[in-house]
Amino acid sequence: MTELIKAVKNHSGMTEEDLLGVRNANDGYAGFTYYKDTVEFYDEYAPEIWEQLNEVSEQLGQRPTEVISSFGCVDSIVDDETFKNALAWFALEEVARYLQDKEEEKTD
């Protein structure tokens, strides 16, 4: 996850504090709003994204395709570009969720 956090921060310019406010990637966040940006992110960081997807899949006892089919944007996946966009959004939301969980642990 450390590499994916660095990747998201590097690509978006967001800080960890900024990422704590991310809820739904399709709300539009720096570096994750336009297909051009999300495809670029996916192309550069695909191994890190797939590593996280496989980890989540394992935790849930599902195949990666099952996890992908649960994405809110799954109905808009119609080609390579929209598939890469969905996985880039997954990465952004996973990083945000991870950081939010860490922040909650501090306050407990």
Query: What is the C-alpha separation between 41 and 103, in angstroms, rounded?
Result: 25
- The domain total for the chain is 1
Mean pLDDT confidence for 27-39: 96
Report the predicted TM-score, pTM, of the whole model to 2 decimal places. 0.94
Structure token pair of residue 31 = 């570096």
Query: pLDDT tens digits for 77-95?
Result: 999 999 999 999 999 999 9
| Reported confidence tier of residue 107, pLDDT bands at 50, 70, 90 | confident
DSSP secondary structure letters along 68-93: HHTSTTGGG--SHHHHHHHHHHHHHH
Query: What is the C-alpha separation between 2 and 52, in angstroms, rounded?
Result: 10
Query: What is the C-alpha separation between 20 and 100, in angstroms, rounded?
Result: 6
Range of the domain at 85: 2-107
